[in-house]
Amino acid sequence: MKTIIEPFKIKSVEPINFTTREERENILIEAGYNPFMIKSEDIIIDLLTDSGTSAMSAKQWAGIMDGDESYAGSKSFFRFESKVKEITGKKFIIPTHQGRAAEKILFSILGGPGKYFPNNSHFDTTRANIEFTGAEAYDLLTEVGKHPEIRADFKGNMDVEALEKFIKEKGSENIPLVMLTVTNNSGGGQPVSMQNIKEVRKVCDKYGLPLFLDACRFAENAYFIKLREKGYENKSVKEIAQEMFSYADGATMSAKKDALVNIGGFLAMNDETLAMNARNLLIVTEGFPTYGGLAGRDLEAIAQGLEEVLQESYLQYRIKSTEYLGNKLLDAGVPILEPPGGHAIYLDAKRFTPDIPPHQFPGQSIVAALYLEGGVRSVEIGSVMFGKTDKATGEFIPPPMELVRLAIPRRVYTQSHIDYLAEVIIEVYKKRDKLKGFEIVYEAPMLRHFTAKFKPID
Ligand SMILES: *Cc1c(COP(=O)(O)O)cnc(C)c1O
């Protein structure tokens, strides 16, 4: 088999600003060892997120020039609507400025105190939008999905038995909908199988509940199904995606992921009353129903991006290049969440630096070391982000996993960038005995990971 090459040529480039190790030492101190506080021009390889960081194609940029900025009835809206309908098969398509705006509208209508929402794993904005209404969000991930060292094909699956038990316990009348996140972002970018989607659908039918997909990475999920699930190897990714959506009554989407754009999102659904209520809220918070919170040009770019994201040469490159990084790290003995996910590689900080206890933030220590070693920006997903302090005892309660996420922007970095990245990570791993724990010297009362300042412990 020959090398899988990037299925594009580069027409427009963005220079990388190189820094020296000495410079990075000072930048780290000034940023309080928090990657969110570092200027992007001081980053060599930026893996903070895959959200809104995609490189757009020449055709998407052409669409930007061609966008119809009419307030109502814009032709760009109709192109967008017809593309989303073609893939999702849903009757009502509502543009929003990003994924969480779609969530805000959906859960404002369906949420409220006494309501319960099950999901394989809620993304943090989804959970926040549910809890903001007074409703409760529950994660019902399969057991295998909770173990970073176990290799399995569909670690994003929902525990169907747990779902049925949950419905019986809470009462189907208190559950406005069931949600499946594809791929499972919070669980490591792991896919959900078609079999699992069908089984969840069956339970939903039994109790008369609607099923919605959190569809941010639907194309990556569909490609994993093609690679790993029996009976799908000869289907096109588009057919697989269409089948996935066919079992759902609706979807929320952040176009900043698998629509290959820098901003945008949508809500899709079949229920006419729900759509009417959603459009009424949309007009208050986002804009008229033929533009949502977006410009006409954004709708053109999304329509084109949805076309390109389903091209198999793109998905092969996308999934294989993430796996390529994962395999390089595994070959060097670096512990990662296995198998490699679609949009990111996660370093398993518990095994990477076993001597740093959770309350000294092993993930944050690795994040700082990766920046110092090679100007790489990553993000801690562990005790900094999710750790809690017991108010009564003052005891620190860590989350189950200590991870460092390396999210790969779409179509942005080439194989030599990834090779460099692997070298940096492996170098830090070799020197792992020298890594120190951290303490927090400043934290905000909420979402502390964005602005916290740290200090290494001597
Ligand atoms: C990014 C994301 C969202 C929220 O979308 P935004 O465009 O960032 O508002 C929701 N769910 C999942 C799974 C995501 O990855």
pLDDT of residue 107: 98
Q: Is the CB of 216 under 6 A from ligand 1?
A: yes
CA atoms within 13 A on the CB side of 252: 24
CATH 3.40.640.10 maps onto the chain at: 58-308
Q: Is the CB of 98 under 6 A from ligand 1?
A: yes
Residue 333 Cα to ligand 1 middle (Å):
32
Q: Is the CB of 126 under 6 A from ligand 1?
A: yes
Q: Which of 296, 374, 317 is nearest to 47 (CA)?
A: 374
For ligand 1, atom 5, which residue shows the shortest CA distance? 99
pLDDT of residue 390: 84
Q: Is the CB of 123 under 6 A from ligand 1?
A: yes
The single-letter code of the amino acid at 395 is: E
Which CATH superfamily includes the segment(s) 21-50+311-456?
A: Aspartate Aminotransferase, domain 1 (3.90.1150.10)
pLDDT of residue 276: 98
pLDDT of residue 458: 85
CATH 3.90.1150.10 maps onto the chain at: 21-50+311-456
pLDDT of residue 292: 94
Distance between CA atoms of 212 and 175, rounded to whole angstroms? 12
Residue 230 Cα to ligand 1 middle (Å):
29
Using most ligand atoms within 8 A of CB, pick from 256, 262, 298 the residue to mutate for ligand 1: 256
pLDDT in tens, the chain (458 residues): 788 899 999 999 999 999 999 999 999 999 999 999 999 999 999 999 999 999 999 999 999 999 999 999 999 999 999 999 999 999 999 999 999 999 999 999 999 999 999 999 999 899 999 999 999 999 999 999 988 889 999 999 999 999 999 999 999 999 999 999 999 987 789 999 999 999 999 999 999 999 999 999 999 999 999 999 999 999 999 999 999 999 999 999 999 999 999 999 999 999 999 999 999 999 999 999 999 999 999 999 999 999 999 999 999 999 999 999 999 999 999 999 999 999 999 999 999 999 999 999 999 999 999 999 999 999 999 999 888 888 889 899 998 889 999 999 999 999 999 999 999 999 999 999 999 999 999 988 877 888 999 999 98
Residue 96 Cα to ligand 1 middle (Å):
12
Residue 41 Cα to ligand 1 middle (Å):
25
pLDDT of residue 252: 98
Residue 215 Cα to ligand 1 middle (Å):
9
* Closest atom, ligand 1, to C-alpha of 256: 7
Chain centre distance of CA 349: 20
pLDDT of residue 445: 80
Distance between CA atoms of 450 and 155, rounded to whole angstroms? 28
pLDDT of residue 5: 92
Distance between CA atoms of 318 and 312, rounded to whole angstroms? 9
Residue 193 Cα to ligand 1 middle (Å):
20
Q: Is the CB of 117 under 6 A from ligand 1?
A: no
Residue 99 Cα to ligand 1 middle (Å):
5
CATH fold label, 58-308: Aspartate Aminotransferase; domain 2 (3.40.640)
Task: Tell me which residue has tokens 């038995």.
Answer: 161
Q: Is the CB of 181 under 6 A from ligand 1?
A: yes
pLDDT of residue 212: 98
Tokens standing for residue 315: 């998905």
Distance between CA atoms of 65 and 67, rounded to whole angstroms? 6
Distance between CA atoms of 305 and 55, rounded to whole angstroms? 10
Residue 100 Cα to ligand 1 middle (Å):
6
What is the reported pTM? 0.95
The single-letter code of the amino acid at 138 is: Y
pLDDT of residue 137: 95
Q: Is the CB of 88 under 6 A from ligand 1?
A: no
pLDDT of residue 387: 87
Q: Which of 378, 386, 383, 337 is nearest to 358 (CA)?
A: 383
For ligand 1, atom 6, which residue shows the shortest CA distance? 99
